[in-house]
Amino acid sequence: MVDRVRQMSIDLGRDAFIRQALLRRQGDGDRLGEIHCPTLVIAAAEDRLRSRDEAEELAAGMKNAELVFIPKSGHMLPIEAPHAFIDVVVPWLTLRRDQHARL
């Protein structure tokens, strides 16, 4: 995984990678209630950068959100556990597609 992140920084270029890493991001947590569509929130159970409480707060802020924690994974979830990630996303999307088709 470290090699993949290192390669991402090389592909981006040193300056762009550093700018992104240092970027201060303004939160929009106060607007979560405006999201009404089905939303899947996926969190890594071993994430050291984002807490379990943050993921729960994010999901709770939306009216139609489902929260899934993927075990044995960290902040770089799609890179660290791509199969587990896909095993959550694909069935969720399939169910939504099938529900939409019945409308």
Q: What is the pLDDT of residues 79-95, one digit of tens each?
A: 889 999 999 999 999 99
With vertex at residue 27, the alpha carbon angle to CA 26 and CA 32, rounded to the nearest 5 degrees, is: 150
| pLDDT attached to residue 1 | 59
Report the predicted TM-score, pTM, of the whole model to 2 decimal places.
Answer: 0.74
Each residue's pLDDT, cut to its tens digit, for the chain (103 residues) gives: 567 777 877 887 878 877 877 777 777 788 999 999 999 999 999 999 899 999 999 999 999 999 999 999 999 898 889 999 999 999 999 999 999 898 8
Alpha carbon of 102 to those of 63, 96, 98: distances in Å? 22, 10, 6
